C-alpha cells in the first residue's frame, strides 16, 4: 500500500511547524556539548544521584509535576476506568429503560429475549405486562450489566474475548441477545458516550497541531546533521515528512472479535506504534490517561517517528522512499546504514548493549507450529465474518439462521482454543516477547537494534524540543521530567534480557529498561546539562557523525 501522506509532501520540503530551528539554535546555547557548570558557585553543588541512576526514580510511587504535566506511578488507568464504569451504570440503565418502556411494538421481541436471557420468565414483576415499570427496571438493569461488561474490559475478556467467561449466562443466550439489531443500536449509542468521556480530545489536538509537527521537524534536522549523502538525506526526510498522525484510538492493537467492537479497550491501551505500510503513527489514549507529562508525550512520539527510518523500516515502503542495503549480511549492512558508526556503537557493552536473539535448535519446529496456528486462526476469523455477514440479512430463512448461529458459536469456541494454544506457544500477547525467530528482512526480527536506534534518536531530539518549548524549566524539573518520560513502565523494567529456558528462547526486542534509561539517556551530554549533571556519564555516548566516526 502506498503512503498517501507522501502525496502532500513534496520532495525535500520541510513541513512547517511552530518551532523555528534558527530560534532553537540560539535558545540551546551551551547545551551543544556543554557539560561544564555555568558559574563557579555551581561547581560546589554535587551532582544528584539521579545523574547516574534515573531508573529507580521513574518507578517511585506518587504524582510528579515536572512543569509540563504530571506523571503518575500506579494503577491510575484502572482507577479511571473503574470510576467511569461506576458513573455509567445509571446512564446505561436509563438508556435501556427508555427503549424497553416504549410503546413501540418493535421492542416487544427484545423485551421477551431479555426476559429469557436474564432468567426472568417466572419473575412476579414480569408476569402481567413486560412494559410494567417494575419489570422494565429489572430488564434494563440486567441488560445494562451485560452491556457494561462488553463496553468496559475485564481480565477474562482481554485474555479470551469470550462472552461465556464474563457474563455468567449461557453463551448461546448471550449471542442471540447481543446480535439483536435493536440491542446493538442501543449498546452502540451508550458506548459512544463512554468513548467520548474516556478520550482526551484536548491533548489529542495538541499532539496533532503542535507537538507532532515540531518533533517531526527536529528529526528532519537530525537527519541533515547526521546523514552525509545528500540523496539519502532527501529520501529519509521525505519519508519522515510524510508521516501522518492516526489519532489516539489503537483498535489495531486489540485483535478482538467484531461482536465486541463496542469495547473501549482500544482507548485504554497505554502504548504507541508506527505502521510502515501506512507511514502513520498512533499515540494510544491509554498513555494520556496515565501520564500528562510533555516529556513522555514528546519522547514517545519521537521514538515512534524514528521507527520510520530505523535499520528495519528504512528498507520498507515505496521505492522512492526506501533505502536499499547492497549486502544481505547484517554484519556488512550495519556499515551501510546511513547513520554511520551508530549501530556498532549501540551494540557495545558500555552503551545500551542492543543484542540479537540467541540461536536455538528448536526454532524451526516452533516456527512451523506458530505459523500453522496463525493460519488456522485467520481462516476461522474469515469463516466467522462470512457467517455474521449472512446473519445480518433480514431475508435469511429462519431455519438457516439457527444453523448458522450454531456453526458460528462452534467456530468461536474453536477460535478461543487456537488463540489459547498460540498464546502458550509464543509466551503471551502484547509484550513484544517472542520464543522463536521468524524469517524477515535485515534487522527486522530477533534484534534489539531497531528499538535502540529509535530510543537514541528520541534522546537526540527531546532536549532540543524542551529547550525551545520550555526554556524556563529548572534542573529539578528536568530531572523529574526525564523520569516522567518513563513513568508507568515499571512493569517492563526487567524485560529486554535474552533468556534461554530449556529448549526455549525468551527474547524482547526492547533492550533492558535500565539500560535504556541509565546507559543511553543519561549518556546524552545535552540531557545531562539540562539535569545539572556536571560529571561525565560512566556510559558511552553514541553520536552518529558523517563519515562513520564516533566520539
478 contacts 530 by C-beta, under 8 angstroms: yes
pLDDT at 384 over 80: yes
The pTM score is: 0.76
pLDDT band at 431 (very low <50, low <70, confident <90, very high): very low
pLDDT tens figures, 287-301: 999 899 999 999 999
Strands 504-508 and 244-245: what pairing? unpaired
pLDDT digits (tens, 9 = 90+) for 198-226: 999 999 999 999 999 999 999 999 999 99
Query: What is the CATH code for 4-69+201-247+293-358+441-530?
Result: 3.40.390
pLDDT of residue 260: 52
- Residue 244, CB-side half-sphere exposure with 13 Å CA sphere: 14
What's the pLDDT score for residue 413?
84
Place of cell 513502565: 489
Residue 238: pLDDT above 90? yes
Q: Can you spell out the DSSP letters for 242-264?
A: T-EE--S--GGGT---GGGTT--
- Give the long-range contacts of residues 424-429, CB within 8 A, separation 24 or more: 425/366, 425/369, 425/370, 425/373, 426/370, 427/504, 427/506, 429/255
Taking the C-alpha atoms of residue 77 and residue 85, their distance in angstroms, rounded to an integer, is: 12
The torsion angle over the Cα atoms of residues 48, 53, 55 and 56, rounded to 10 degrees, is -70
Percent of the chain residues past pLDDT 90, beyond the cut: 55
The contacts found for 333-336 with CB under 8 angstroms, 24 or more apart, are: 333/442, 333/443, 335/548
Burial of 383 (0-12, 13-18, 19+ CB in 10 A): middle
pLDDT of residue 299: 98
pLDDT band at residue 409 under the 50/70/90 scheme: confident
| pLDDT confidence tier of residue 18, bands split at 50, 70 and 90 | low
Place of cell 412476579: 124
Q: H helices of 168-249, where?
A: 171-178, 181-198, 201-206, 212-226, 230-241
Answer yes or no: is pLDDT of 30 > 70.
Answer: no
What φ, ψ does residue 349 adopt, rounded to 5°? -65, -30
Per-residue confidence band for 13, with pLDDT thresholds at 50, 70 and 90: very low
Q: How confident is the model at residue 12 (pLDDT cuts 50, 70, 90)?
A: very low
Mean pLDDT over residues 336-344, rounded? 94
Residues 6+ apart with CB under 8 A from 240: 216, 219, 220, 223, 305, 308, 309
Calpha distance 417→210 (Å, rounded): 45
Residue 438 pLDDT > 50: no
- Judged against a pLDDT cut of 80, whether residue 505 lies above it is answered with no
Distance CA 33, CA 287 (A): 32
Q: Would you say residue 364 has pLDDT above 60? A: no
CA distance 353 to 355: 6
Closest by Cα among 198, 196, 194, 240 to 217: 240
Across the strands, what pairs with 63? 72
Helix (H) or strand (E) holding 274: strand 272-275
Grid cell in block for residue 289: 490517561
Residues 535, 525: Cα–Cα separation, whole Å: 10
Set of cell numbers at residue 538: 560512566
User: What is the pLDDT, as a whole number, of residue 3?
Assistant: 28
Q: Write out pLDDT tens, residues 519-548.
A: 999 999 999 999 999 999 999 999 866 544
**Amino acid 29: pLDDT:** 53
Amino acid at each position: 500500500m502506498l503512503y498517501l501522506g507522501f502525496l502532500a509532501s513534496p520532495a525535500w520540503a520541510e513541513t512547517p511547524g511552530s518551532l523555528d530551528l534558527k530560534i532553537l539554535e540560539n535558545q540551546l546555547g551551551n547545551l551543544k556539548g556543554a557539560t561544564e557548570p555555568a558559574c563557579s558557585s555551581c561547581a560546589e553543588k554535587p551532582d544528584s544521584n539521579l545523574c547516574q541512576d534515573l531508573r529507580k526514580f521513574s518507578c517511585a510511587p506518587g504524582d510528579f509535576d515536572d512543569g509540563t504535566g504530571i506523571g503518575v506511578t500506579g494503577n491510575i488507568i484502572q482507577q479511571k476506568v473503574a470510576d467511569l464504569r461506576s458513573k455509567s451504570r445509571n446512564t446505561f440503565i436509563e438508556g435501556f429503560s427508555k427503549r424497553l418502556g416504549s410503546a413501540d411494538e418493535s421492542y416487544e421481541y427484545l423485551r421477551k429475549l431479555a426476559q429469557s436471557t436474564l432468567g426472568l420468565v417466572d419473575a412476579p414483576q414480569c408476569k402481567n405486562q413486560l412494559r410494567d415499570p417494575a419489570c422494565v427496571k429489572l430488564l434494563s438493569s440486567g441488560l445494562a450489566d451485560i452491556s457494561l461488561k462488553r463496553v468496559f474490559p475485564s481480565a477474562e475478556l482481554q485474555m479470551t474475548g469470550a462472552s461465556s467467561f464474563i457474563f455468567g449466562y449461557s453463551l448461546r443466550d448471550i449471542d442471540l441477545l447481543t446480535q439483536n439489531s435493536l440491542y446493538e443500536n442501543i449498546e452502540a449509542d451508550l458506548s459512544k458516550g463512554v468513548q467520548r468521556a474516556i478520550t482526551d480530545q484536548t491533548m489529542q489536538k495538541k499532539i496533532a497541531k503542535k507537538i507532532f509537527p515540531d518533533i517531526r521537524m527536529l528529526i528532519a534536522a537530525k537527519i541533515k546533521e547526521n546523514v552525509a549523502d545528500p540523496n539519502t538525506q532527501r529520501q529519509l526526510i521525505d519519508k519522515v515528512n510524510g508521516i501522518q498522525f492516526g489519532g489516539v484510538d489503537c483498535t489495531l492493537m486489540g485483535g478482538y472479535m467484531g461482536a465486541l467492537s463496542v469495547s473501549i479497550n482500544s482507548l485504554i491501551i497505554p502504548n504507541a506504534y508506527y505502521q510502515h505500510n501506512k507511514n502513520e503513527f498512533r499515540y494510544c489514549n491509554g498513555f494520556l490517561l496515565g501520564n500528562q507529562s510533555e516529556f513522555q508525550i514528546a519522547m514517545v512520539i519521537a521514538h515512534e517517528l524514528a521507527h520510520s527510518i530505523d535499520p528495519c523500516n528504512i528498507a520498507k515502503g515505496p521505492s522512492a522512499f526506501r533505502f536499499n542495503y547492497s549486502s544481505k549480511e547484517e554484519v556488512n549492512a550495519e556499515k551501510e546504514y546511513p547513520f554511520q558508526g551508530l549501530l556498532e556503537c549501540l551494540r557495545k557493552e558500555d552503551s545500551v548493549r542492543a543484542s540479537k536473539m540467541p540461536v536455538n535448535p528448536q526454532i524451526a519446529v516452533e516456527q512451523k507450529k506458530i505459523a500453522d496456528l496463525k493460519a488456522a486462526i485467520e481462516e476461522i476469523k474469515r469463516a466467522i465474518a462470512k457467517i455474521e455477514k449472512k446473519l445480518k440479512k433480514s431475508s435469511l430463512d429462519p431455519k438457516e439462521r439457527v444453523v448458522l448461529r450454531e456453526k458460528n458459536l462452534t467456530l468461536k469456541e474453536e477460535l478461543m482454543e487456537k488463540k489459547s494454544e498460540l498464546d502458550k506457544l509464543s509466551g503471551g500477547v502484547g509484550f513484544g516477547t517472542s520464543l522463536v525467530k521468524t524469517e524477515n528482512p535485515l534487522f527486522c526480527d530477533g534484534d534489539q537494534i531497531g528499538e535502540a536506534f529509535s530510543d537514541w534518536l528520541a534522546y537526540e531530539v527531546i532536549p532540543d524540543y524542551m529547550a525551545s518549548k520550555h526554556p524556563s524549566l529548572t534542573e529539578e524539573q528536568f530531572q523529574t521530567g526525564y523520569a516522567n518520560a518513563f513513568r508507568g513502565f515499571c512493569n517492563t523494567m526487567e524485560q529486554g534480557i535474552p533468556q534461554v529456558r530449556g529448549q526455549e528462547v525468551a527474547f524482547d526486542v526492547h533492550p533492558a529498561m535500565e539500560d535504556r534509561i541509565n546507559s543511553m539517556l543519561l549518556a546524552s551530554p545535552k540531557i545531562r546539562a539540562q539535569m545539572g549533571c556536571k560529571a561525565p556519564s560512566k556510559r558511552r555516548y553514541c553520536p552518529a557523525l558523517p563519515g562513520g566516526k564516533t566520539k
